Amino acid sequence: MNAMTLTRRGFIKACGAAALVGAGGIRLAYGAPDANAENDTLVVIYLRGGIDGLNLVVPLDGADRGHYEEARPTLRIATSGAFAALPLSLAGGVASGFGLHPSASGLHDIWLDQRMAVVHACGLSTVASRSHFDAQLYTELGTPGQTATGQGWMTRAWQTDAAFGGPDVLPALAVGANTPNSLLGANDAITMASPGDFSLNRGAHAWQRTRVDSPAGLRGFNEVLAEQWAGPQPLQRAGQRAHLSLTTVEALGYQSNPPAGYPTTTFARQLFTIAQSIRFEMGLRYAAVDIGGWDTHDGQGTAGTGYHYYQNKIAELSAAIAAFHEYLAASGHIGRTTVVLQSEFGRRVRENGNRGTDHGYGNPMLVLGGPVNGRRFYGNWPGLAPETLSPTFGDIPVTTDSRNVLAEILERRMGNGQRTAVFPGSWAYAPLGIVQSGAAANAASRAAGSGARSTVLRR
């Protein structure tokens, strides 16, 4: 797939302030003009509902294994056998004492390629909430305890970026039915469920635009409407931007169907849209996508024969991310792509009476991509001893504020050192060394991206 070359003037016309087009209920927000192919891209995958991080990153030995098995008599992941956890060995094959859920084989391959890191016990260190609504809002706004900010943290990150207002065509993208709160207030982002649906679809299909088999003289709805928007009034200018942004997305040539061997789940297709946007080299800086379904108060399951909910969900998550990683590695773009997996909170250590887990606190964050100093653990693992969990009511405590991880990526990969503007408020910040930094590291990681080992699509 080749990068598109479009004129600055054309994109100035095509992109501007946000608008809501009332045909088909499609939400539109528009990017700034032209491309900068050297930009890094940060992709945040939000695991909505509170993933059970203790069954994603599993303790395998020592005292913590004993505490884990005692707390989870039916939900524990085995250490041996056909459905055993996949060991997360460190560089050189040294055992780490942790493993991945056995359905996360794609993520495990990325770990072995030294392109994935795990940050222990993450969350919001200044606010503890077990409400999905509050915890998600605090996390996505980047303002724990405050909700009246009017902007998400990604919006502030872009607006304080040195490239803001410059030549980027598509600086921010959300793939889904709704704009996430992390991009709240971003007038230069695009939100779309899928590229194929990003069009005006008012009226019969045959009337929407002129086609090769249209009757002589027929002018489609889109062509006529474009002329009706002509004029200097604010509503007319908004219509012009809407129409030209629609045609811009169409001109990029998104593929509706992923390549052979690529997963076909909705989440995988959403990641494929982001991957194509990166490969178009239109200056994508920030991307957001959700995958929900992690709120498992009952019937969570573990791994084995028959139906196990978490086994299937983690397999879906892992396969989609691995395909995304390989697709960008094949074109050399993974070297400038960093992916973060984040959830609003973890689950309780002890399973409940319905063979599920209730809302918890600390949770791992996964960081992967070409710039990652991978096959390593970061942060402080507090352990599962009862005296450790007691102050947080049986939950894993937070030892690393999730804002630390994001702020480090902003500084080292995105060139944005305005941490306090992006994340207002006070917390203990210290970079952990998760990602490479500096121009030399950036160039090296981009070059390394084209040589990444192919592990997914041949399965």
More confident residue, 2 or 162: 162
pLDDT (0 to 100) of residue 385: 98
Average pLDDT, the chain: 84
Mean pLDDT of 411-439: 91
More confident residue, 448 or 327: 327
More confident residue, 27 or 458: 27
Band of the pLDDT at 438, cuts 50, 70, 90?
low
pLDDT (0 to 100) of residue 390: 96
Q: Express each pLDDT in 297-350 by its tens digit.
A: 999 999 987 789 999 999 999 999 999 999 999 999 999 999 999 999 999 999
Least confident of 186-195, 238-247, 446-455: 446-455
Mean pLDDT of 424-443: 79
Domain 31-194+260-449 of CATH type 3.40.50: no
Mean pLDDT of 65-72: 98
Q: Express each pLDDT in 148-184 by its tens digit.
A: 889 999 999 999 998 887 766 788 999 999 999 999 9
pLDDT (0 to 100) of residue 334: 97
Mean pLDDT of 128-153: 94
pLDDT (0 to 100) of residue 305: 78
pLDDT (0 to 100) of residue 22: 30
- What is the location of CATH 3.40.720 in the chain? 31-194+260-449
More confident residue, 44 or 453: 44
pTM of the model: 0.85
Three-state secondary structure readout of the chain: CCCCCCCHHHHHHHCCCCEECCCCCCEECCCCCCCCCCCCEEEEEEEECCCCHHHHEEECCHHHHHHHHHHCCCCCCECCCCCECEECCCCCCCCCCEEECCCCHHHHHHHHCCCEEEEEEEECCCCCCCCHHHHHHHHHHCCCCCCCCCCCHHHHHHHCCCCCCCCCCCCEEEECCCCCHHHCCCCCEEEECCHHHCCCCCCCHHHCCCCCCCCCCCCCHHHHHHHHCCCCCHHHHHHHHHHHHHHHHHHCCCCCCCCCCCCCCHHHHHHHHHHHHHHCCCCCCEEEEEEECCCCCCCCCCCCCCCCHHHHHHHHHHHHHHHHHHHHHHHCCHHHEEEEEEECCCECCCCCCCCCCCECCCEEEEEEECCECCCEEECCCCCCCHHHHHHHCCCCCCCEEHHHHHHHHHHHCCCCCCHHHHCCCCCCCCCCCCECCCHHHHHHHHHHHCCCCCCCCCC
